Every structure is written in C-alpha cells, then in structure tokens.
Structure 1
C-alpha cells in the first residue's frame, strides 16, 4: 500500500530517510526517476541513504507504475519519492492507489528561482509546475506542502491562483 508520494528534488536524504520513513512506518522506498534509474552510481547512493530496515528500489516511470500497480504491493508499506511534479502527475495518471502528494523541497536545484514563483522558502514553481499540480488536483488527489510530519500542512490548492 502506498502511504505517500513525495516530491523532493533531493530524492532520499535525512528528512525522507529518517523522519518520513519512521512517521509513516514504511518498509519500502520506491524512487521513480528516469535519470536515477539509469545511473548505477546514483542508485547505489540512494540505497546507501536508506535506513537498514527499509528496502530501496529505484525505477523509471513505466517500471515504477507497473510495480506500484502490482497487487503484491498492497501488502507493503511504501513511500514513493519523485523529484518533480511531472513524475508525480505521471504516477497519478497510471497508478490507481495514490493517497496524496506531499511536496517537500522543490524548485531550487536548477538555480532558476528568479524565473519561478516563490510559494515557501523551499518551494519555487514555474507555470509548467503549476499546470502539473492543477492536473493532479483535478483528479481529486490532495497536494500538500509539508517538509516534516510535525510541521503544519499547506494545501497547494490554496496557493494556486
């Protein structure tokens, strides 16, 4: 069962590996990212960043969607991590059981924050990103900004104008 899908441009790091896995009680982190899946060094790094009691799988979009739709996945407690709204929207279109999207750190890594709208200190969005979020919301899936579980939640539906 998918517990949460997180958008975080850093993929797996302290907040994801330690805080969210514990708060959600997951036993799997599935990273869905084409670039990471094709890069053995990145796969190794992501697996090293994962807690010992959690299994990490790194897949491209199509393979990730297939795995998440597999009935055997229902018995697992899964945190899905992507690094952009486009991949999250792809999963929302192809996976039946997305409970909600959690947005963490996004929009700073490319260094183009001046070309984006600042929604929070850690969330910068382009028009393309807004359209991806709108598409997800239109499917009836909540998109929530929350860096860590004890932080208050912001529904992105309220931020998109």
Structure 2
C-alpha cells in the first residue's frame, strides 16, 4: 500500500468545470482529476455527467469518476507519478473519504450553493447542520477546511466563518 500523491481536495457543487481546469488545476500542478461522487460515477445520468466534465477538462488532465467507496478502496493503489486532485460536491463525501482512510489533510471549499434550509457564510458558500457536522468530523481527524474560491484569495477556516455568520 502506497501513500497517494493527493495535491488538492476541493468541494464544488458543480464538480469539474472550466474554473477547475484553468485556475485550480494549474495552481496545484495536478495531472489527474478524480471526481469522487456516487452520482457521476454510477448514477442514472453518469454517462451524460461524465461527458460534460471530460469536455471541461480540455484534455489537459486524466479524469476518473469513482464512487466514494471505490475511491476509498483504490486510492492507495495510485502511482506516485499521479498528482491527484480530488473533487467532491459535498463536505459529507469528503468526510466519508477521510473516515475511510483517504489521506486528506486539507479541503478547499469553493462552491456550495444556497438551497432551502442553508445559510450563507460567504459569497459562494452556504451550509446547513449536516455540512457543519461533516466539517467538524474532518477537523477532529486533522483536516483543515478553508473557504477559498480562487488561489489569489486568502483562505478562511470554514468553521470560523460559520461561527461568525450565525
């Protein structure tokens, strides 16, 4: 079992899109984008979702679509040459990865849109009690979670933001 070379982990409800390729992919020097998401890996619209996301990658990155469980099961088989950018659409999924043994130490929180029952804590991030629970679980396991929409912005701890925007 090897330690995978995870260069970045991001929560973005939109999953793989142009900003990921252009901004974050280059910033992190990733060569593999791993979309860890049950729906895009195995859901009824998986083929459609994957086609759109592969097009967004622009051929610059290898792209994989794994369920959360498959990611947990195979991440330690990754080649050391793979610079892995893990992309999830919720903090619950990232918490499941961490609790399953995926060695994530930092989680970048990008876009979590406002939905009924959520409250906005930054321009691009809205959360509910389930999200806070997931962030707290990750923090207890040593994962730093920061809101930072683009690399030029200053990262801010998500739980501190949540506490100051109650």
User: TM-score with structure 2 length normalisation?
Assistant: 0.88
**CA-CA distance at 1:15 after TM superposition:** 1.6
**1:47-58 alignment to 2 at 5 Å?**
47-58=54-65
State yes or no: 1:10 paired with 2:10.
Answer: no
Query: What per-residue deviation string (whole Å, max 9, x for no partner) do you get for residues 33-75 of structure 1?
Result: 11111211111111111132211001111111223222x3433
User: After the TM superposition, which residues 133-148 of structure 1 pair with which residues of structure 2 at under 5 Å, given as runs?
Assistant: 133-148=135-150
Structure 2 regions of 5+ residues with no counterpart?
Answer: none
Distance of 2:100 and 2:40 partners within structure 1: 20
Asked if the contact 2:72–2:102 (Cα under 8 Å) also holds between the matched residues in 1, the reply is no
* CA 91–73 in structure 1, closer or farther in 2 if over 3 Å, else same: farther
Distance 1:2 1:145 in 2: 19
CA separation in 2, counterparts of 1:90 and 1:142?
Answer: 15
Q: Tell me whether 1:159 sits opposite 2:165 in the alignment.
A: no
- CA 1:96/1:58 → structure 2, altered by over 3 Å: closer, same or farther? closer
2-structure distance, mates of 1:99, 1:75: 19
Structure 1 residue ranges without an equivalent (≥5) = none
Cα shift readout 1:93-140 (whole Å, capped 9, x = no counterpart) = 1134213100000033xx32xx21211011110011100100001111
Query: For residue 151 of structure 2, what is the aligned residue in structure 1?
Result: 149
- CA distance in 1 between counterparts of 2:99 and 2:80 reads 18
Instruction: Check conservation: 1:32, 1:80, Cα contact below 8 A.
Output: yes
Alignment of 1:85-96 (within 5 A): 85-96=91-102
Structural RMSD (CA): 1.3
Which residue number corresponds to residue 32 of structure 2?
Answer: 28
**Would you identify which runs of 4 or more consecutive aligned residues in structure 1 move more than 3 Å?**
none
TM-score of the aligned structures, taking structure 1 as reference length: 0.91
**Aligned length, in residue pairs:** 156
